[in-house]
């Protein structure tokens, strides 16, 4: 891999002219496609990245004062039950045995998440058997007839009952969506996980862990192929006229932005982060602490030392990052699709436009307007390569 900054339009035009494939965006989707095309087919790939680093939102950095690895765009936890994906990613990194566990603060108390038997017992202040806990939740959920659900709040109450909803869902949802849950569609929260045992592991997947050397090292190895060139600080939409006709493009940027918002802007959420180095060895005792109360402005606090307890981090300093969620405005970095009914109508029109672009393959979270975990993005990229791109690159 070569990772370069453009030396003018002429130099970039020459690189693009020699490319068999152009990939827009260097997150896991884009880099997986690039690696597959180079390794399996021997094709020359140019990856265009508008940021000053590769890796998209999965990029990590070592905080210079403490040496603690910080996930620059929010916590990234790798997990999958897909054996093929697991075998593939381990070509580029080993994984630790980290298992993600989350806690939430509600009304001054700390509870394990997602809601499990321990959460329920602590919440009601007594020991309950699984059968008793199920009966209690069923009794509270009966307040709302599922046939008469009209919004997110109704849906949540019909699933877990009002007491658990008020304690753990309402305030957090208000902060996540910056909207009263009674004004949000019910499909946003189609299910709420409740475990009637004491399992507080956050993910249920077969495989889980964090890259031993960090995300930056993993991403750099994924891009480390002599036929792959990553060009940084270039916005494809500013230079797409330089891509020769007939050269396929894999586009992983925002779908609406590609078409100049011609059908209207899709709804996105964005995140803001506030990072601090504190003069203590441990701030919260865990990697992620959610805050369920609406009067606390942040949604959660990350303390990154806890992601890698095996590392020799300083004992007198720690790094914490407060995360805030809000609706993305023009110019903001889009993170998650909101996907209201109106958004889905707009999306349908963009998909028609995308289908009419014979040389462009839309992928990734932003390019398909879907929430994709890392393993899902990698699996989707492998599927696109196998089922669509390979034939295009070999047969034309």
Say whether both 49 and 139 belong to one domain: no
pLDDT digits (tens, 9 = 90+) for 145-192: 998 999 999 999 999 999 999 999 999 999 988 888 998 888 888 777
Spot the catalytic one: 65, 90, 371, 386: 371
List CB contacts of 10: < 8 A, sequence separation 6 or more: none
Say whether both 258 and 346 belong to one domain: yes
pLDDT at 187: 81
Closest CA to 259 of 354, 344, 390, 183: 354
In the chain, the percentage of residues whose pLDDT exceeds 70 is 97
* Banded model confidence at residue 392, pLDDT cuts 50, 70, 90: very high
Spot the catalytic one: 303, 323, 350, 365: 323
Active site residue 84: no
Q: Residue 362 is part of a domain; what is its CATH number?
A: 3.40.50.720
What's the average model confidence in pLDDT over 315-319? 97
Spot the catalytic one: 44, 269, 317, 353: 269
Active site residue 373: yes
Spot the catalytic one: 36, 72, 195, 305: 195
Number of structural domains found in the chain: 2
Round to whole Å and give the CA distance between 258 and 237: 7
Say whether both 220 and 367 belong to one domain: yes
Closest CA to 209 of 336, 69, 295, 95: 95
pLDDT at 306: 98
Three-state SS letters, 313-362: CCCCCEEEEEEEEEECCCCCCCCEECCCHHHHHHHHHHHHHHHCCCCEEE
Query: Is 1 within a domain?
Result: no
Say whether both 31 and 145 belong to one domain: no
pTM: 0.93
Lowest mean pLDDT segment, chosen from 10-19, 33-42, 162-171, 208-217: 10-19
pLDDT at 64: 97
Query: Is 98 within a domain?
Result: no
- Check pLDDT > 60 for residue 131: yes
Coil vs helix vs strand at 172 = helix
Lowest mean pLDDT segment, chosen from 339-343, 363-367, 371-375: 339-343
Q: Is beta strand 249-251 parallel, antiparallel or unpaired with respect to 21-24? A: parallel
Q: Is beta strand 268-278 parallel, antiparallel or unpaired with respect to 336-337? A: antiparallel
- Check pLDDT > 60 for residue 28: yes
Mean pLDDT, the chain, rounded, equals: 95
Active site residue 98: no
pLDDT at 387: 97
pLDDT digits (tens, 9 = 90+) for 70-111: 999 999 999 999 999 999 999 999 999 999 999 999 999 999
CA angle 254, 260, 264 (to 5 degrees): 85
- Check pLDDT > 90 for residue 7: no
Active site residue 371: yes
Active site residue 300: yes
Q: Residue 131 is part of a domain; what is its CATH number?
A: 1.10.3110
Round to whole Å and give the CA distance between 367 and 181: 27
Instruction: Give bridge partners of residue 22 from the DSSP assignment.
Output: 46, 249
- Check pLDDT > 80 for residue 121: yes
pLDDT at 210: 98
Round to whole Å and give the CA distance between 73 and 216: 12
In the chain, the percentage of residues whose pLDDT exceeds 90 is 89
Say whether both 24 and 84 belong to one domain: yes
Spot the catalytic one: 145, 191, 295, 329: 191
CA 293 distance to own-chain centroid: 23
* Banded model confidence at residue 340, pLDDT cuts 50, 70, 90: confident
Query: Is 389 within a domain?
Result: yes
**Residues 300, 321: contact at Cβ < 8 Å?**
no
Say whether both 346 and 258 belong to one domain: yes
Spot the catalytic one: 20, 132, 293, 373: 373
Domain limits at 168? 115-188
Active site residue 195: yes
């Amino acid at each position: 891999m070569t990772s370069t900054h453009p030396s003018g339009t002429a130099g970039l035009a020459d690189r693009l002219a020699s490319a068999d494939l152009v990939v827009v965006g260097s997150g896991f989707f884009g880099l997986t496609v690039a690696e597959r095309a180079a390794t399996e087919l021997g094709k020359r790939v140019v990856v265009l990245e508008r940021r000053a680093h590769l890796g998209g939102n999965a990029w990590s950095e070592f905080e210079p004062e403490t040496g603690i690895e910080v996930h620059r765009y929010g916590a990234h936890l790798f997990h999958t039950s897909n054996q093929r994906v697991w075998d593939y990613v381990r070509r580029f990194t080993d994984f630790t045995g980290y298992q993600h566990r989350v806690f939430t603060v509600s009304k001054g108390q700390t509870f394990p998440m997602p809601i499990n038997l321990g959460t329920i017992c602590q919440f009601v202040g007594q020991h309950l058997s699984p059968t008793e806990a199920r009966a209690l939740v069923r009794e509270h959920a009966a307040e709302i007839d599922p046939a008469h659900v009209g919004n997110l709040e109704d849906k949540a109450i019909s699933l877990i009952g009002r007491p658990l909803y008020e304690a753990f869902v309402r305030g957090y949802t208000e902060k996540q969506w910056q909207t009263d849950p009674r004004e949000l569609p019910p499909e946003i929260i189609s299910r709420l996980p409740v475990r009637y045992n004491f399992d507080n592991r956050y993910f249920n997947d077969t495989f889980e862990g964090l890259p031993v050397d960090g995300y930056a090292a993993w991403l750099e190895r994924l891009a480390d192929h002599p036929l792959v060139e990553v060009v940084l600080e270039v916005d494809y939409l500013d230079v797409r006229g330089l891509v020769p006709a007939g050269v396929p493009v894999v586009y992983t940027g925002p779908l609406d932005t590609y078409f100049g918002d011609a059908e209207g802007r899709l709804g996105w959420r964005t995140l803001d982060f506030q990072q601090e180095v504190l003069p203590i060895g441990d701030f919260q005792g865990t990697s992620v602490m959610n805050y369920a109360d609406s009067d606390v402005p942040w949604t959660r606090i990350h303390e990154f030392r806890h992601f890698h307890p095996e590392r020799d981090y300083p004992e007198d300093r720690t790094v914490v990052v407060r995360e805030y969620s809000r609706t993305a405005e023009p110019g903001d970095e889009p993170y998650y699709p909101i996907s209201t009914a109106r958004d889905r109508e707009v999306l349908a029109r963009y998909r028609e436009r995308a289908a009419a672009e014979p040389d462009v393959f839309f992928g990734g979270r932003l390019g398909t307007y879907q929430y994709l975990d890392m393993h899902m993005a990698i699996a989707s990229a492998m599927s696109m390569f196998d089922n669509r791109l390979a034939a295009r690159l070999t047969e034309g």
